């Protein structure tokens, strides 16, 4: 088997059905491709809607619906499927992680598979993500670092230009290139990566889990690449509401950031990163008041950062 696809679904059945429909042609072009659709305990009738669509569309020969039993987050949901894949007798060479809020452009999956076939040192590769109007989204990133934390708080153009080589989200490039990590909305991994570094860290509920996995892959000697010939529409934030600026940032965003820094670089690094963000944010607040600019930040951003970025989530609650 060449490829297995994993999709973790939560309360967006209409989007997931359209995503599977867009994937069908790609799956047919790569013999043996199967989709493992993990229903992450939505509790809203999604499981029944998805099962009905699989039967109605005739997808049952290549799509398997897996009830997760509980919503343990994105990492946990992916691991439900990955454990099945790695325990199977006929294990695929590659695993494609695909969000349910995506639409696969023709040829997108074949481009990723062809790239991996041609680059044996590549352990991870990501698609060019774009909006419905084909505008590119930033989806190839640098690993989080101290300079980027200060810039994220301060948000001054001059500082951002000075720190351009350290910022997490560089401008989109049109050519295939190596990168630190790619967005998990459409990300292919060599099966051997999971065998070398293990599955997703389930202490990440949502966000930073693919960053962490790409870092572990890098440390194990694997390369990560951005492949813009693989084009996937990404309707981000549909299940999480993260794009709604009237809603506070969810607690798991802060907790994932905290866990990522502390796990990979230690407690001292986390404290320095927090201090730099707080310093930058405080300077931004002063500058905003002096210049009379409106506050375009999410509600409670600073207070939630203080509450959730130092202690563990359980301690903070």
Mean pLDDT in residue range 259-263: 98
Taking only the tens place, the pLDDT of each residue in 134-157 is 999 999 999 999 999 999 999 999
Predicted pLDDT of residue 316: 40
Q: Tell me: pLDDT of 238 over 70.
A: no
pLDDT band at 13, cuts 50/70/90? very high
pLDDT band at 21, cuts 50/70/90? very high
Predicted pLDDT of residue 244: 85
Q: Tell me: pLDDT of 214 over 50.
A: yes
CA distance 212 to 189: 14
Taking only the tens place, the pLDDT of each residue in 160-205 is 999 999 999 999 999 999 999 999 999 999 999 999 999 999 999 9
User: Is the separation of the CB atoms in 141 and 169 below 8 Å?
Assistant: yes
Mean pLDDT in residue range 28-40: 97
Closest CA to 213 of 184, 185, 186, 234: 184
User: Is the separation of the CB atoms in 210 and 163 below 8 Å?
Assistant: no
Integer angstrom CA distances of residue 98 from 80, 104, 246: 15, 9, 28
> φ and ψ at 113, to 5 degrees?
-65, -45
pLDDT band at 313, cuts 50/70/90? very low
CA distance 216 to 211: 9
Predicted pLDDT of residue 239: 60
Q: Tell me: pLDDT of 236 over 90.
A: no
User: Is the separation of the CB atoms in 199 and 99 below 8 Å?
Assistant: no
Both tokens of 8, joined, read 């973790």
Mean pLDDT in residue range 272-289: 97
Alpha carbon 230 to its chain centroid, in Å, reads 16
Q: Tell me: pLDDT of 315 over 60.
A: no
CA distance 207 to 221: 23
Q: Tell me: pLDDT of 109 over 80.
A: yes
User: Is the separation of the CB atoms in 300 and 248 below 8 Å?
Assistant: yes
Taking the whole predicted model, whether its pTM rises above 0.85 is answered as yes
Q: Tell me: pLDDT of 209 over 90.
A: yes
């Amino acid at each position: 088997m060449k490829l297995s696809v994993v999709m973790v679904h939560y309360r967006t059945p209409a989007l997931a059905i359209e995503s599977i429909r867009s994937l069908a042609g790609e799956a047919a072009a790569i013999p043996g491709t199967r989709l493992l659709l993990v229903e992450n305990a939505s509790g809203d009738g999604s499981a029944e809607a998805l099962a009905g669509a699989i039967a109605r569309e005739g997808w049952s020969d290549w799509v398997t619906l897996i009830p997760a039993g509980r919503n343990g987050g994105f990492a946990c949901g992916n691991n439900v499927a990955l454990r099945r894949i790695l325990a199977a007798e006929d294990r695929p060479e590659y695993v494609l992680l695909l969000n349910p809020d995506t639409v696969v452009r023709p040829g997108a999956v074949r481009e990723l598979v062809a790239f991996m076939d041609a680059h044996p040192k590549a352990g991870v590769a990501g698609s060019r993500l774009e909006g419905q109007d084909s505008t590119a989204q930033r989806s190839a990133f640098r690993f989080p670092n101290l300079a980027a934390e200060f810039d994220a708080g301060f948000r001054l153009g001059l500082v951002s230009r000075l720190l351009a080589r350290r910022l997490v989200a560089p401008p989109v490039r049109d050519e295939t290139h190596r990168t630190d990590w790619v967005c998990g909305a459409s990300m292919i991994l060599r099966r051997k990566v999971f065998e070398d570094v293990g599955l997703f860290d389930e202490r990440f509920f949502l966000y930073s889990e693919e960053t962490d996995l790409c870092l572990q892959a890098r440390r194990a000697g694997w390369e990560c690449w951005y492949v813009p010939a693989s084009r996937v529409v990404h309707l981000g934030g549909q299940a999480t509401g993260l794009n709604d600026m009237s809603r506070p940032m969810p607690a798991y965003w802060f907790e994932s950031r905290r866990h990522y820094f502390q796990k990979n670089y230690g407690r001292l690094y986390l404290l320095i990163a927090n201090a730099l963000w707080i310093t930058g944010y405080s300077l931004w607040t002063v500058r905003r008041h002096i210049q009379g600019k409106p506050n375009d930040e999410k509600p409670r951003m600073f207070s939630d950062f203080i509450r959730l970025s130092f202690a563990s989530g359980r301690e903070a609650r």
